Structure 1
């Protein structure tokens, strides 16, 4: 069995600020579980698409009911591949964990694009698949745990993005103090 998650959200910020916040989102107060982020590859292809591959190290916790001996290390490496199309104002990200995949694999896709009705907003669509191949009668329970944890972490990720976006807005406002005098 596979668990799914889908959520649509609108950021009250322009697309270029949301994509900037995506790159600057770590560290933030809502992401203490993120230990490290490294860029493995980055280039602009022949169509002007910025392609980036990053490796993210995160820590997590297994539920109390999970057998202790099966998960000795709570850290997970996540591969993140992204494509930024500045011409069409679209960014697509795909992430998945590289280790602990037999216990649980989470594959996430996010699409950020300029909102169709309001160009000052950014629409974000998040979809995820949570898959366990663990067996022992725990597969469904592991997937349910993964889904509920993913939902909670997605809400924290949005708060983290909002935190960074507010910092960007404050920085932009401080660079143009004369606008406040008009």
Structure 2
């Protein structure tokens, strides 16, 4: 099993980051995410927690040996479930691959919460595990490739989301018309 973890702060308030979360895709840094479909959304009337389930469609260049050995294609799908709690200002997003999950799984967890100075803390973890014990060398290669790909995409996601937030909030400030006589 491979583990991945990263933590950092976005230079935006929790509310702005959560609004930005819904605008993350498409963006040029994460061009592998080609579709995002909301399949369910609900609000718990007692707690106010918003639950959203989405399916992300991805397209990535998969090594030929993976396609030959395990089948499939460059198309992959990920199930994402998020819980946004406005009262505690926390957001938790979990995702798992649907494609080729009989051979390998990638369980990702993301957590957003307020940080000092009006920023937002981001914590991301992932566990990547293959399920093909009878082909240990192929399983090790597959797990290594998946872990490397996940790390690359996580870094692209961080850069892409930073750009999305900048475009949503910092560029918007620059485009506000000046008030007459102010």
Establish whether TM, by shorter chain, passes 0.5.
Answer: yes
Gap regions ≥5 residues in structure 2: none
TM-score, with structure 1 as normaliser: 0.90
Structure 2 Cα separation of the partners of residues 163 and 130 of structure 1: 27
Q: Which residue of 1 aligns with 2:172?
A: 171
How much does 1:176 deviate?
Answer: 5.9
Q: Which residue of 2 aligns with 1:41?
A: 40
RMSD: 1.9
Structure 2 Cα separation of the partners of residues 111 and 82 of structure 1: 10
Q: Which residue of 2 aligns with 1:160?
A: 160
Question: Where does structure 1 differ by over 3 angstroms across 4 or more consecutive aligned residues?
Answer: 64-67, 175-178
Moved more, 91-100 or 132-141: 132-141
> Where does 1:1-182 land on structure 2 (aligned, <5 Å)?
2-45=1-44, 46-66=46-66, 68-115=68-115, 117-118=116-117, 120-135=118-133, 136-137=135-136, 138-169=138-169, 170-175=171-176, 177-178=178-179
What is the SS of the residue equivalent to 1:37? strand
TM-score, with structure 2 as normaliser: 0.90
More helix by share: 2
